[in-house]
Amino acid sequence: MKKNSLGVIIGIVTFAAAVSAAITAFLLVNEKKKRDEEELERYLDCSIQ
């Protein structure tokens, strides 16, 4: 019984870590995309003037 409950706890912790990593990666990719778009917009504004 103890081995089974320990396995469940380890599984839950692993699942939580995986979900956390996925959310963090998603947020970082979105932030980078936003910065790249802002940088491109600034570059285009400066090159037009």
Three-state SS string across the chain, please?
CHHHHHHHHHHHHHHHHHHHHHHHHHHHHHHHHHHHHHHHHHHHHHHHC
- pTM for this predicted structure: 0.70
Domain extent at residue 26: 1-49
pLDDT digits (tens, 9 = 90+) for 3-48: 789 999 999 999 999 999 999 999 999 999 999 999 999 999 888 8
Query: Residue 16's closest CA among 26, 24, 27, 4?
Result: 24
The tally of domains found in the chain comes to: 1
